[in-house]
């Protein structure tokens, strides 16, 4: 193994590493949860992607988040189960296949139900595993032995069981009512599937003639004039004094001249429009309720695909016209007859099909509904008592409001792809029941039976996902072991579609919550803050990112780039810059790894074996910082602040371990500095070797380096699993059978927490930084070692300085670091926060005369600029005419230049320039 450590290629190549490593994890079964394990379980069920889906960035964020949590808990010693699978996605999948056969010039009706469903199955079998294979490429550690599909026979049995139970409990009923109808998909939609969008529409004011009323006509306002053909009344609010005289009279529908009653109903908003509303009970949910109360006729005047049709109400000239064409024709006809009073622009909410974006047409129809109030009660209670927690918490109010105002769920869909509704009706005696098996005959009279032609809403299967995937309704070992689960990670868009319903199903069918915490992450957006979508063409293919930069770069960017619950903004036009943080960090980690691994011998002593007295300040400091990193990363992951966990790892590895510790100990390693882990390394490499016993000192450094790097790799593993596993395998003494994926999560060792060391090291860092800053200001070349003085130190600080003089000398780029007042020579100075004073002697090291010339030149230029600016600001015209913020900016500039002038003057003085 030792040899291979030195064979690390100089560049990290994710493509050489990722696939073989993933294969190894699979072969070793590290993702497979054991049902007989003594460990306490930790379960996440994946939000099942549509079976036809291909991975997009939103799912990338969703799944990487889940993977970070599951890998974290697996390393913490939990029996982690991340259960994957896909959703048959009724309407979505049916739409995809309908589009396919449309290319052959066919509709599903040409094929017939059986052939069409067979076609969908063939399509699903051919493409269905795509997205799951893609999840493997981003490193998802799902338990693939437990992959489920919502249309699996076992799963379908659970769906049917649930349906029959609800039926037997009397919670399923046939509702004759106005539902949301998609005229493109030819199916009913639930409230959630009919998405509200604000559109710029029009409000049409239409005059209806009135017989024997106080006035010859009344005016109604409507956004859908074509529906007037289906009007069966005009209504006013009973409290509306203006229109009281009309109630009881008869209005005549324009164009078709049908008489309709004028009625009074509380549902009419007195303030809206003219106070009169047309009542179309078959094409509007509110009007339907009015129709019920007043026993009105409810004629449908459109076909299912939204063309105008009715034997008596739709005139020949309009029959068969699409609703939007009919709207224009009716408006023309109204104009011709002088019945159109006016048209106003009107912005209002219109529901759209969530699958095909067609405008939803409210439509009277017979559908199956589930009574939701009894199911909602325990789910609401669970939120109130804290049994179920939403993260971020702000979603709680939304959840609570929705559950308190829950409406019955329309579960029937007029589709062919889906779980067929298991309701059977006897053709002879009318007996109707729900059955677990397909009956051959009527259970009462043995007459012939017919099954309901509709299928169930897709969500009627996915709401069972947390337990149907584990074998329910059977009491399987998996179900006993892995239900209830723990965390659900999802997008807020499906809080009601899915999350709330899973909670209801969990309590109703198993009497237990499906999970304890729902983590709702943000949305992936482009730099204009638009949601990434196929239709906008502003998406990023996560697999392109994996191909270009590797899975870890993708994972790092999405995790480090988004804070709790907020949106992830990525630039689809500049993948290079967008994913640079991830790629750069992977490269940095690789370089640090190469350096450290090259230093470490075959055997490294454990920390416990070291003589504590041999630990120097830098050792004690980095060991203490490591404890801080372990504590903070653990807490951040526990509280879903994944970005903070990533950033803390970054700081520990890059800023603390590489930039400071490695640089501080390079002289002790006596190395030639093979590879470079930080800056400025050039100075360190030529530094004198450490005093004392170099072998013992080296052994300490090796132990500390190995411990810290090992801890860093463990902490980083959930976010960047591939590169960390690859490096970790090469640490000394590693058994080739060991895998980081199942290694122990590091624990804080209180014996290594050392606040004194942290304080002292911070002080040393401030001195070193002061020297480096001065050297940079006076442009001292890196290979020139200056003399560094520090004075006016308190007692404790003096001790630190004396003890760490060697480290300070090296890291400050000095030939010597001296405690005391500097001689009267040219140099740069700085006053530190603790009141001490730093001085870098430059005389004798740089060409002071030249530096004086350079600084004087700068000063002259600055003074000229200042004079110009002063003239501008004393110019009354400019000050009076320019906008206030421009003047303020100029004054701001003047102040800054004044400060700069002071700095330059001080520098010139301290260099002794004349």
When the beta carbons of 426 and 495 are compared against Zn ion, the nearer one is 426
Query: Min. distance of Cβ 534 from Zn ion in angstroms?
Result: 16
If one asks whether residue 445 binds Zn ion (CB under 5 A), the answer comes out as yes
If one asks whether residue 428 binds Zn ion (CB under 5 A), the answer comes out as yes
When the beta carbons of 356 and 769 are compared against Zn ion, the nearer one is 356
| Range in contact with Zn ion (rule: CB under 5 A) among 202-210, 295-303, 422-430, 545-553 | 422-430
| DSSP-assigned letter for residue 409 | E
d(CA 491, CA 846): 61
Query: Min. distance of Cβ 143 from Zn ion in angstroms?
Result: 35
| Range in contact with Zn ion (rule: CB under 5 A) among 346-354, 505-513, 547-555, 672-680 | 346-354
Per-residue CA distances from 525 to 257, 522, 553 (Å): 53, 9, 18
If one asks whether residue 185 binds Zn ion (CB under 5 A), the answer comes out as yes
| Contact characters 688-707, Zn ion, x per CB under 5 A | --------------------
When the beta carbons of 55 and 189 are compared against Zn ion, the nearer one is 189
| Helix or strand run (H / E) with residue 800 | helix 795-803
Q: Is the dihedral of CA 313, 316, 321, 325 positive or negative?
A: negative
Question: Which class for 703: exposed (0-12), middle (13-18), buried (19 or more C-beta within 10 A)?
Answer: buried
Contact 487, 69 (CB under 8 A): yes
When the beta carbons of 85 and 418 are compared against Zn ion, the nearer one is 418
Q: Which residues contact 623 (CB under 8 A, 6 or more apart)?
A: 607, 615, 704, 707, 708, 752, 754
Backbone angle region of 276, left / alpha / beta, with phi > 0 → left and psi within -120 to 50 → alpha = beta
If one asks whether residue 560 binds Zn ion (CB under 5 A), the answer comes out as no
If one asks whether residue 306 binds Zn ion (CB under 5 A), the answer comes out as no
If one asks whether residue 426 binds Zn ion (CB under 5 A), the answer comes out as yes
| Helix or strand run (H / E) with residue 196 | strand 194-211
Please state the three-class secondary structure of 73-136 as a single string: HHHCCCEEEEECEEECCHHHHHHHHHHHHHHCCCCHHHHCHHHHHHHHHHHHHHHCCHHHHHHH
Q: Is the dihedral of CA 53, 58, 61, 63 positive or negative?
A: negative
Query: Min. distance of Cβ 719 from Zn ion in angstroms?
Result: 39
If one asks whether residue 558 binds Zn ion (CB under 5 A), the answer comes out as no
Query: Min. distance of Cβ 175 from Zn ion in angstroms?
Result: 21
When the beta carbons of 435 and 894 are compared against Zn ion, the nearer one is 435
Query: Min. distance of Cβ 306 from Zn ion in angstroms?
Result: 11
Backbone angle region of 835, left / alpha / beta, with phi > 0 → left and psi within -120 to 50 → alpha = left
Per-residue CA distances from 116 to 7, 415, 420, 421, 535 (Å): 57, 11, 14, 18, 27
Q: Is there a cis peptide before residue 392, judged by omega within 30 degrees of 0? A: yes
Query: Min. distance of Cβ 436 from Zn ion in angstroms?
Result: 19
| Range in contact with Zn ion (rule: CB under 5 A) among 4-12, 348-356, 839-847, 852-860 | 348-356
Contact 758, 627 (CB under 8 A): no
If one asks whether residue 414 binds Zn ion (CB under 5 A), the answer comes out as no
Q: How many residues bind Zn ion (CB under 5 A)?
A: 15
When the beta carbons of 457 and 619 are compared against Zn ion, the nearer one is 457
If one asks whether residue 429 binds Zn ion (CB under 5 A), the answer comes out as yes
If one asks whether residue 350 binds Zn ion (CB under 5 A), the answer comes out as no
The values of phi and psi at residue 254, to 5°, are: -60, 155
If one asks whether residue 444 binds Zn ion (CB under 5 A), the answer comes out as yes
Per-residue CA distances from 196 to 350, 351, 354 (Å): 5, 4, 9
User: In the set 131, 194, 296, 353, which binds Zn ion (CB under 5 A)?
Assistant: 353
Query: Min. distance of Cβ 426 from Zn ion in angstroms?
Result: 3
When the beta carbons of 76 and 184 are compared against Zn ion, the nearer one is 184
Structure tokens at 194: 């009919």
Q: Which residues contact 766 (CB under 8 A, 6 or more apart)?
A: 832, 833, 834
Structure tokens at 500: 């709330």
Cα-based angle 645, 648, 650 (whole degrees, multiple of 5): 110
In the range 219-278, which residues lie near Zn ion by CB under 5 A? none
Please state the three-class secondary structure of 319-364 as a single string: CCCEHHHHHHHHHHHHHHCCCEEEEEEEEEEEEEECCCCCECEEEE
| Contact characters 583-622, Zn ion, x per CB under 5 A | ----------------------------------------
Q: Which residues contact 449 (CB under 8 A, 6 or more apart)?
A: 424, 425, 426, 427, 439, 440, 441, 442
When the beta carbons of 189 and 743 are compared against Zn ion, the nearer one is 189
Q: Which residues contact 169 (CB under 8 A, 6 or more apart)?
A: none
d(CA 354, CA 186): 13
Of the candidates 162, 51, 44, which has an alpha carbon nearest to the alpha carbon of residue 468? 162
| Range in contact with Zn ion (rule: CB under 5 A) among 315-323, 345-353, 465-473, 730-738 | 345-353
If one asks whether residue 356 binds Zn ion (CB under 5 A), the answer comes out as yes
In the range 319-338, which residues lie near Zn ion by CB under 5 A? none
Cα-based angle 844, 850, 856 (whole degrees, multiple of 5): 125
Name the β-bridge partners of 370: 172, 409
Residues making up the chain, counted from first to last: 914
| Range in contact with Zn ion (rule: CB under 5 A) among 133-141, 419-427, 542-550, 896-904 | 419-427
User: In the set 304, 341, 431, 894, which binds Zn ion (CB under 5 A)?
Assistant: 431
If one asks whether residue 305 binds Zn ion (CB under 5 A), the answer comes out as no
d(CA 631, CA 636): 9
Query: Min. distance of Cβ 555 from Zn ion in angstroms?
Result: 35
Query: Min. distance of Cβ 450 from Zn ion in angstroms?
Result: 11
When the beta carbons of 95 and 591 are compared against Zn ion, the nearer one is 95
| Range in contact with Zn ion (rule: CB under 5 A) among 306-314, 353-361, 517-525, 747-755 | 353-361
Query: Min. distance of Cβ 91 from Zn ion in angstroms?
Result: 7
When the beta carbons of 335 and 444 are compared against Zn ion, the nearer one is 444
User: In the set 19, 184, 389, 647, which binds Zn ion (CB under 5 A)?
Assistant: 184
Query: Min. distance of Cβ 352 from Zn ion in angstroms?
Result: 8
When the beta carbons of 445 and 905 are compared against Zn ion, the nearer one is 445
If one asks whether residue 427 binds Zn ion (CB under 5 A), the answer comes out as no
Query: Min. distance of Cβ 641 from Zn ion in angstroms?
Result: 39
Three-state SS at 178? strand
Per-residue CA distances from 370 to 367, 406, 409, 784 (Å): 10, 11, 5, 81
Cα-based angle 399, 402, 405 (whole degrees, multiple of 5): 145
When the beta carbons of 94 and 578 are compared against Zn ion, the nearer one is 94
Query: Min. distance of Cβ 433 from Zn ion in angstroms?
Result: 10
Three-state SS at 262? strand
Query: Min. distance of Cβ 720 from Zn ion in angstroms?
Result: 41
Of the candidates 278, 52, 94, which has an alpha carbon nearest to the alpha carbon of residue 182? 94
Query: Min. distance of Cβ 456 from Zn ion in angstroms?
Result: 17
| Contact characters 142-181, Zn ion, x per CB under 5 A | ----------------------------------------
| Range in contact with Zn ion (rule: CB under 5 A) among 117-125, 295-303, 428-436, 719-727 | 428-436
If one asks whether residue 447 binds Zn ion (CB under 5 A), the answer comes out as yes
Query: Min. distance of Cβ 182 from Zn ion in angstroms?
Result: 3
| Range in contact with Zn ion (rule: CB under 5 A) among 106-114, 352-360, 386-394, 566-574 | 352-360
Query: Min. distance of Cβ 185 from Zn ion in angstroms?
Result: 3
Query: Min. distance of Cβ 5 from Zn ion in angstroms?
Result: 59
> Binding residues for Zn ion, per CB under 5 A?
182, 184-185, 353, 355-356, 358, 426, 428-429, 431, 442, 444-445, 447
């Amino acid at each position: 193994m030792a040899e291979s450590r030195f064979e690390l290629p100089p560049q990290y190549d994710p493509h050489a590493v990722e696939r073989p490593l993933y294969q190894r994890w699979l072969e070793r079964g590290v993702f497979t949860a054991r049902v007989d394990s003594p460990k306490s379980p930790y379960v996440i069920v994946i939000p099942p992607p549509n079976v036809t889906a291909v991975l997009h960035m939103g799912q990338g964020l969703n799944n990487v988040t889940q993977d970070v949590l599951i890998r974290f808990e697996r390393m913490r010693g939990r029996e982690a189960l991340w259960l994957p699978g896909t959703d048959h996605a009724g309407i979505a999948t049916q739409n995809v296949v309908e589009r396919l056969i449309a290319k052959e010039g066919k509709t599903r009706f040409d094929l017939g139900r059986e052939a069409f469903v067979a076609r969908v199955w063939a399509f699903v079998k051919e493409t269905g595993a795509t997205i799951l294979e893609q999840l493997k490429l981003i490193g998802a550690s799902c338990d693939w032995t437990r992959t489920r599909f919502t249309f699996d026979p076992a799963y379908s049995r659970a769906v049917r069981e649930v349906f029959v139970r609800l039926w037997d409990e009397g919670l399923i009923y046939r509702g004759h009512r106005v539902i949301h109808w998609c005229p493109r998909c030819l199916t009913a939609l639930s409230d959630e599937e009919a998405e509200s969008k604000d559109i710029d529409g029009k409000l049409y004011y239409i005059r209806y003639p009135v017989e024997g009323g106080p006035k010859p006509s009344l005016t109604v306002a409507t956004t859908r004039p074509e529906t007037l053909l289906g009007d069966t009344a005009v209504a006013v609010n009973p409290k509306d004094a203006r229109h009281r005289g009309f109630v009881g009279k008869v209005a005549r529908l324009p164009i078709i001249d049908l008489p309709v009653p004028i009625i009074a109903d509380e549902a009419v908003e007195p303030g809206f429009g003219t106070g009169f509303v047309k009542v179309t009970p078959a094409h509007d949910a509110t009007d339907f309720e009015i129709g019920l109360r007043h026993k009105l006729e409810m004629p449908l005047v459109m076909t299912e695909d939204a063309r105008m049709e009715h034997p008596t109400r739709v005139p020949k000239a309009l029959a068969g016209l699409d609703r939007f064409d009919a709207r224009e024709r009716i408006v023309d006809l109204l104009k011709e007859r002088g019945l159109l009073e006016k048209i106003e622009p009107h912005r209002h909410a219109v529901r759209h099909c969530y699958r095909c974006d067609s405008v939803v047409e409210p439509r009277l129809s017979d559908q199956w509904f589930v009574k939701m109030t009894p199911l909602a009660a325990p789910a609401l209670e669970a939120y109130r008592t804290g049994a179920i927690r939403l993260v971020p918490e702000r979603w709680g109010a939304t959840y609570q409001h929705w559950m308190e105002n829950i409406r019955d769920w329309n579960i029937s869909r007029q589709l062919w792809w889906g779980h067929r509704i298991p309701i059977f009706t006897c053709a002879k005696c009318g007996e109707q029941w729900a059955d677990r098996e397909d009956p051959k005959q009527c259970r009462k009279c043995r007459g012939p039976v017919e099954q309901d032609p509709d299928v169930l809403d897709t969500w009627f299967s996915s709401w069972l996902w947390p337990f149907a995937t584990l074998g329910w309704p059977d009491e399987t070992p998996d179900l006993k072991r892995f239900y209830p689960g723990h965390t659900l990670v999802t997008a807020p868009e499906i809080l009601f579609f899915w999350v709330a319903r899973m909670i209801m199903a969990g309590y109703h069918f198993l009497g237990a919550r499906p999970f304890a915490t729902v983590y709702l992450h943000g949305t992936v957006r482009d730099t204009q803050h638009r949601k990434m979508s196929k239709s906008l063409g502003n998406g990023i293919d996560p697999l392109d990112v994996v191909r270009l930069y590797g899975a870890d770069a993708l994972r790092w960017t999405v995790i480090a780039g988004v804070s709790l619950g907020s949106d992830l903004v990525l630039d689809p036009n500049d993948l290079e810059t967008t994913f640079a943080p991830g790629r750069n960090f992977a490269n940095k980690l690789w370089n640090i790894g190469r350096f450290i691994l090259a230093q470490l011998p075959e055997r490294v002593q454990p920390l416990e074996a070291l003589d504590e007295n041999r630990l120097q300040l830098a050792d004690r400091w980095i060991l203490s910082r490591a404890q801080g990193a372990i504590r903070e990363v653990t807490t951040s992951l526990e509280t879903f602040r994944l970005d903070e966990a990533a950033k803390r790892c970054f700081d520990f590895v890059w800023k603390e371990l590489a930039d400071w510790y490695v640089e501080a100990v390079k002289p002790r390693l006596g190395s030639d500095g093979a590879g470079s882990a930080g800056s400025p390394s050039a100075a360190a490499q030529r530094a004198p070797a450490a005093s004392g016993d170099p072998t013992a000192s080296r052994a300490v450094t090796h132990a500390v380096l190995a411990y810290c790097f090992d801890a860093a790799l463990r902490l980083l593993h959930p976010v960047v699993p591939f590169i960390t596993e690859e490096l970790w395998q090469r640490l000394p003494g590693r058994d080739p059978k060991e895998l980081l994926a199942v290694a122990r999560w590091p624990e804080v060792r209180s014996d290594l927490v050392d606040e004194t060391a942290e304080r002292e090291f911070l002080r040393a860092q401030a001195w070193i930084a002061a020297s480096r800053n001065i050297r940079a200001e006076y442009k001292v070349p890196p290979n020139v070692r200056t003399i560094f003085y520090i004075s006016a130190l308190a007692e404790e600080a003096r001790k630190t300085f004396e003890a760490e003089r060697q480290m300070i000398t090296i890291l400050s780029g000095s030939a010597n670091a001296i405690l005391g007042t500097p001689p009267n020579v040219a140099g740069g100075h700085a006053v530190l926060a603790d009141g001490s004073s730093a001085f870098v002697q430059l005389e004798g090291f740089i060409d002071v005369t030249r530096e004086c010339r350079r600084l004087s030149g700068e000063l002259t230029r600055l003074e000229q600029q200042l004079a110009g600016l002063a003239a501008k600001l004393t110019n009354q015209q400019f000050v009076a005419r320019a906008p206030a913020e421009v003047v303020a900016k100029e004054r701001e500039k003047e102040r800054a230049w004044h400060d700069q002038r002071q700095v330059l003057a001080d520098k010139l003085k301290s260099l002794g320039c004349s």
